[in-house]
Structure formats: structure tokens, C-alpha cells
Amino acid sequence: MPTQTVDHRFNFGFGYDEVRDDYKVAAIFHEITKCYINAKIYSLKSDSWTTVDDHQGEMVYDGLGKLVNGKLHWLTSIVDGGWDIMSIDLVYEKCRKVEQPCYGRTFPFNTWSVGK
């Protein structure tokens, strides 16, 4: 696993790459002093880490990535006080922002989860 430093926060997600028949772990590294999020993906099949493109954002709110359609998703804050949903595609190992509908203005938000 990549080395951990004090000025980073970490979030993780676990999923299955159906194309390559491979289990993968995504590790999200948020550098506290900068406004970007770096991600790495671990492949069980190749026993190696791959670095994913950086994503602009201040902080990842959800601890564990939510797996939907082969992509892990996290809620992230952005500089202007709004929020984004960041996704990591486990097949293509790419990070991107999920487009949101236009709300007309910024709203405060809450996160909800089902289970313990």
C-alpha cells in the first residue's frame, strides 16, 4: 500500500472489474493543504497500484466508496462551498466528476446511508 503521511486523509472503496475478472481497491488521498484529491487503484490480479488522474476538490465526505455500475462514488466538497460527486471507473481506472442537475443555487446538503 502507498505510504501514509500526516497531511493526508484517506478514503477507500472496494469493487469488482467484470471486464478483467479482477477485484480492486480504490484509495483516495486528500492532501489537506491543497485543493485536490489523488486516487490510486490496487489490482488483486496484478498485485500492483496504479495512480489515477487528480480530481479537483477540497474534501471527501463519504468514508467508503459506493459501487454503482462498475464505478466507485464519493461525495466531495468544492472551493465555492458546493459539492460534487467524484467517481472512479474500475475498468478504465479513470476519475471524473459526475454531472449534477442545475439547482439554480447552492444548497446545504446531508449524507444518508442505509445500514450500520
Per-residue pLDDT tens, the chain, 116 aa: give them.
556 555 667 889 999 999 999 999 999 887 766 667 788 999 999 999 999 876 666 667 667 889 999 999 988 877 677 778 888 999 999 988 888 777 665 555 555 555 55
8 beta partners: 31
Which of 91, 99, 110, 113 is CA-nearest to residue 26?
91
The answer to whether residues 21 and 45 touch, using CB atoms and an 8 Å cutoff, is yes
Would the pTM of this model clear 0.85, i.e. be above it? no
8-98: CATH topology:
Lipocalin (2.40.128)
The residue among 73, 84, 77 whose CA lies nearest residue 113 is 73
Quickly count: other Cβ atoms within 10 Å of residue 55's Cβ: 21
CA distance 65 to 87: 9
How far is Cα 99 from Cα 20, in angstroms, rounded to an integer? 27
**Domain locations in the chain as residue ranges:** 8-98
DSSP state of 99: P
